Chains A and B, each alone.
Chain A
Amino acid sequence: MSRRFKHLPGQVGLCLGVALLVLWSVGPVYWSFVTSITPPNALVSDNLHFWPQTTTWEHYAKLFGATSTSQGNEVASVWPQFSRAFANSLITSLAATALVVIIAAFGAWAFVRLEFPGRNVLFVLVVATLAIPAYTVMIPLYRLMISMGLIDTYTGVTLIYVSAFLPLALWLMRSVYQAMPLSLEEAAWLDGASKLRAFVQIVLPLAGPGLVACGILTFLSAWGQFMVPLVFSPTLATKPLTVLIPEFVTRNYVDYGLMNAAGIIAILPPMLLVLFLNRYLVSGLMAGAGK
């Protein structure tokens, strides 16, 4: 048996595993896409097809159209709602992401480089909040938000996202900074940089991949949030896509085509973000600092 085939069983296993994972994650997306281009009557037919026999863009037309028809009747277009919710999703997710990344970038650095009493206890407390299930704080949080008048505001939703996703980002960034040699900063101080300057010009660029990872994680988590906006975003003022799309289910008709078309559109921003930021997730930025 040649060397090339010695690892064959392992390789077959690996391929199988990869195939399963791809199926697991891409399958639903594929199905959603197929549903979104299938005519409504074919959707409720008895025999399912892996690829629809006739395809249609009518669901997308309904989503983007100025007017639309539903079951033969002219109904109000969903575009105003959809576009509003899309914007809401973008605004709250981007705001939360920006805030989390900025606060984690500076906060984690403080936890690593600044000496202050109770530093480690404080950090453990912050990270420990990750273990608290969201629903246990829902009711007190609701009362708090009401008393501050933050229900159904961008500020309110964004603040909740930040408080929920910041601990993980802080944790991640702390380990990024801990892995960075202090001597780089010291060299910058001796070169004449203030501590802040050394941080911004030397540490931050090298922490780039960590920051990008934090950004991606936070954006994806915020974009996919359902329960928080369900409670705190009752109207279209701040209601995101995740809450709006299920509302396409009406009392006597489930518009699968429309829901899935909306779902496919909703996948685009996080997908583009990940594709765009992926190339900054490179490792090995630290190479060359030492001997």
Chain B
Amino acid sequence: MAEVSIRDVTKSYGTTKVLHGVSFDVADGEFVALVGPSGCGKSTLLRMIAGLEEISSGTVSIAGRVVNDVEPKQRDIAMVFQNYALYPHMSVRDNMGFSLHLRGASKAEIAAAVSKAAEILGLTPYLDRTPKQLSGGQRQRVAMGRAIVRQPAVFLFDEPLSNLDAALRVQMRAEIRALHERLGSTSIFVTHDQVEAMTMADRIVVMRAGRLEQAGPPLELYDRPANAFVAGFIGSPAMNFLEAVAEGGQVRLASGQVLEVASAATGAVLYGIRPEHLELTNPDAPGAIVGQVGIVESTGTAMFVAMQAGALTLHAVFTDRPNIKRGDQIGLMPKPGLVHLFDAKTGLRLS
């Protein structure tokens, strides 16, 4: 058990800088998700915590000790690799027991720890198989088992679910979360799937292009995104952004329509509203954004509607299956208090 502290960490490959000073803390026993678009440096950061990648500047501390120059094997970390990296020539049992074996544990200790981990993960029937005789999901579990068998101070996961099918992902998501609660170990989980991050993490760290954009509990990121990028990244379907000019508690959209907002901001802004925060109204209702229904998609639980308002496209989600079809004239009313305003230039939150 240990807390992890990352201070002004940068990483350069030759002259290209891929991390530009990232700082955040992970409390003891916390489950933190590291999210961001592809190539933003999530894996790089995780590998730096693991000791597999040199730290160009800044410090990484585990349990209060700066580990910049500590070998991976001395960091007391377990990592589940993006590609699992199971030892193909060893049985599942030996894969899971390898770390204990290296620590000089006795045969009986190893057997006990492996069978306990196998039981937790439902791997008991497969202990004598080699990885190639397992399905993708089972391999994923072996990778997990290899990590939990020795109860490390910190768990690192690099997109372990990215290649599983949808059903298995949902199942493994719950299992990993349950495992975390059971073991109570500090975990850092990299993913580019924001649903995974929202559902599993105690806290989410959002990164973009080597910079930290915002760190906080999932609902805080959803309710009060610090900038337009986080607002667009967290939440599915993504938030609508409308270019507008604000003045005296009102914003004027590019279409010319004027909307009331609870903000004293002035100047060019981005008016953000989540699809689920738009209500269907009559086109003539005051304060509604008016347009024509474009594409309508339905999943059964929800109905996704794209509305065309002049040059603007607004996405809305309804769960009550309203009776609308392509070409209908409708009004969309932003729910009061759920509108986000961002500075058009810096993208920073205004309201």
Contacts and interface: CB of A to CB of B under 8 A. Distances in A.
A289 B88 contact: yes
Interface stretch (A13-21, A60-68, A155-163, A185-193): A185-193
A188 B89 CA distance: 13
Contacts of A194: 73
Given A190-B79, A191-B102, A287 B85 contact: no
Nearest to B98: A191
A9 to B, nearest CB: 39
A287 B89 CA distance: 9
B130 interface: yes
Contacts of A189: 51-52, 71-73
Q: Interface of chain A, helix or strand or loop or mixed? A: loop
A288 B84 CA distance: 9
Interface residues of B, number: 33
A121 B49 CA distance: 33
A192 B110 CA distance: 15
B132 A287 contact: yes
Interface stretch (B133-141, B186-194, B245-253, B288-296): B133-141
Contact of B87 (A190, A192, A202): A202
Contacts, number: 87
Contacts of A191: 73, 78, 98-99, 102, 146
Interface in B74-116: 75, 77-79, 81-89, 98-99, 102-103
A200 interface: no
A197 interface: yes
A193 B136 CA distance: 26
A183 interface: yes
Contacts of B269: none
A183 B80 CA distance: 10
Given A191-B102, A197-B102, A291-B163, A206 B88 contact: yes
A190 B77 CA distance: 7
A285 interface: yes
Given A181-B83, A181-B85, A186-B72, A288 B131 contact: yes
Interface string A169-184: 0000000000001011
A206 B89 CA distance: 7
B50 interface: yes
Nearest to B89: A205
A139 interface: no
Contact of A286 (B88, B103, B140): B88
B168 to A, nearest CB: 12
B133 A288 contact: yes
B136 A291 contact: yes
B88 A187 contact: no
Given A188-B98, A289-B131, 7 more contacts: A186-B52, A190-B52, A190-B75, A190-B77, A191-B98, A191-B102, A291-B84
Interface of A: 181, 183-184, 186-194, 197, 202, 205-206, 284-291
16 contacts: A181-B83, A186-B50, A186-B79, A188-B98, A189-B72, A190-B72, A191-B98, A192-B102, A206-B88, A285-B89, A287-B131, A287-B132, A288-B130, A290-B86, A291-B84, A291-B139
